[in-house]
Structure 1
Amino acid sequence: MSLTLHRDGGSGNLVGVFRRPAKMSLSVGPIISNPSGSPTKLAVKSSRFENDRLFVDIENRRDPKKVDTYILTKLGHDGLLMEIQGAPVGLFPLMRSNSGIDLAQDWAPDISVRPDTPFASNEDLKKIFDEDQALRTGQDSKDWKQIAKSDKVRRQAVMKLLQEGDLKTGQDYERAAIIYQHGETSDDFLMSHSLALAALSKGAPSAVWIATASMDRYLESIGRPQIYGTQSVVQASPAPDTVAPLPQALRKDLALPESRP
């Protein structure tokens, strides 16, 4: 996708052209799937600045009388983050180009692509995560009551970062999920699971483990059998009397140990 903007000589407003594949699907991530056809040119109808963000109204591909609103936020010196108002699929990074841009037309069938994340992982969260992990390695004898108290403080710090919008990357969400996995209540474990799902949606495939482990821990906390066997793995096999049946093919795709017959 490309966006070309310039100031209109009469009104002084930003106008221009938005180019995108003729057909494509968008999903959370963001992920662009099944792009095809020659690039479509859509006119920028109007624009306005609000709270340091640029709102751009672009003609709708199916009905030129309607518009879709795109929200642009500055990213560094030469970039923008683009989101589609009313379509919470994620942020698309756009980088300035001083030369013309030709959009590809030879897309492979059924391709899905994810734009590279423009963000670095949060350093404050990394420090919280490293502290969480350090307390669980090393010496065998540990003061678990004291660790539980500090775990609560770490969860509160993670929630503050989350509420302030400071978690950006899949790694951020995976680390946050692991910290919440060390909680004490069913709500903590559900939060861990939700954070793990966000990590997966942002391209962190290693978060599949914490996604399964947090669900198992949640189920056990409400008196239900776990389904993945992550919380009772003994010699690489989950106990069959505590794990709800799960097809072996699915266990394999989730990189889980095979259950005993």
Structure 2
Amino acid sequence: MRPSRLSCAAAMSAIALAFAVPALAQETSPQNNAEMAAIFAADQAVRQNLAPDFFKDRARMTEMITGDAARRVQTRALLDAGALQTGEDYRAAAFVFQHGSTPEDYLLAHSLAVAAVAKGSPEGAWIAAATLDRYLQMTEKPQIYGTQTRKTRDAPATLDPYDRALIPDSLRTVFGVPPQSEQDARLAAVNAAAEAAASKP
């Protein structure tokens, strides 16, 4: 007895559904890595509400530097294990390496930030610019976005060395970086506040 057209169609639908279920399962978005999120939270926590005299306190500075180094080791282990999957994972990792101490740390931070953007994190754009600026500074080249401020003991804060002509403000905007006029205004405000504080008896 030949099967009816209806039963054949039902069988084909069942087969199609059986093949479709694994495909749907594969399309499930990956979840942010909880360990990476915790590392990032710790990285940010030590930088919240820093008092002006923080950088003069050697013990506290040493503690932060030691913690930063440990967080880089943890993050590198996650990266090497392929445990970073999402844009947020890569963005968090970029911040951890942005707080490194060598040009290689900053170059890796930049690569992680680019990966964050490629993975769909719009917030990764700013850290991509900042990591490149810091890498350029650490290799004795001028920054190009204007994300990094330098301050020596007795001199005013400065954005220099800074190649202001290489890219336009329209490109800075793409990366979430303020235009040069706003950068200069912020810098002037910082220096004015520092001068006022220094002149108080």
The structure that is strand-richer by fraction is 1
> Could you say if the C-alpha distance between residues 240 and 160 of structure 1 is closer, same or farther in structure 2, counting changes exceeding 3 Å?
closer
2:108 match: secondary structure: helix
Q: How far is 1:250 from its partner?
A: 1.6
Q: Percent same amino acid among aligned pairs?
A: 36
Q: Which runs of 4+ in 1 moved over 4 A?
A: 238-241
Aligned to 1:250: 171
Larger radius of gyration: 2
Q: Which one has more relative contact order, counting CA pairs under 8 Å at least 6 apart? A: 2
Aligned to 2:11: none
Q: Structure 2 stretches of 5 or more lacking a match?
A: 1-14, 152-157, 185-201
Deviations 1:36-69 (CA, angstroms, capped at 9, x unpaired) = xxxxxxxxxxxxxxxxxxxxxxxxxxxxxxxxxx
> Could you say if the C-alpha distance between residues 208 and 233 of structure 1 is closer, same or farther in structure 2, counting changes exceeding 3 Å?
farther
Task: Report how many aligned residue pairs link the two structures.
Answer: 151
Given residue 252 of structure 1, which amino acid in structure 2 is its aligned partner? T
Q: How far is 1:252 from its partner?
A: 2.5
Given residue 183 of structure 1, which amino acid in structure 2 is its aligned partner? G
Q: How does 1:36-185 map to 2 (within 5 A)?
A: 79=22, 94-95=23-24, 118-140=29-51, 141=54, 143-185=60-102
Distance, in Å, in 2 between the alignment partners of 1:178 and 1:162 is 14
> Could you say if the C-alpha distance between residues 224 and 244 of structure 1 is closer, same or farther in structure 2, counting changes exceeding 3 Å?
farther
Q: How far is 1:233 from its partner?
A: 8.9
Q: Is residue 120 of structure 2 the alignment partner of residue 199 of structure 1?
A: no
Q: How does 1:203-214 map to 2 (within 5 A)?
A: 203-214=120-131
Instruction: Please report the TM-score for the alignment, with normalisation by the length of structure 2.
Output: 0.67
Given residue 155 of structure 1, which amino acid in structure 2 is its aligned partner? R
Given residue 102 of structure 2, which amino acid in structure 1 is its aligned partner? T
Distance, in Å, in 2 between the alignment partners of 1:132 and 1:126 is 10
1:187 match: secondary structure: helix
The structure that is helix-richer by fraction is 2
Distance, in Å, in 2 between the alignment partners of 1:213 and 1:259 is 15
Aligned to 1:188: 105
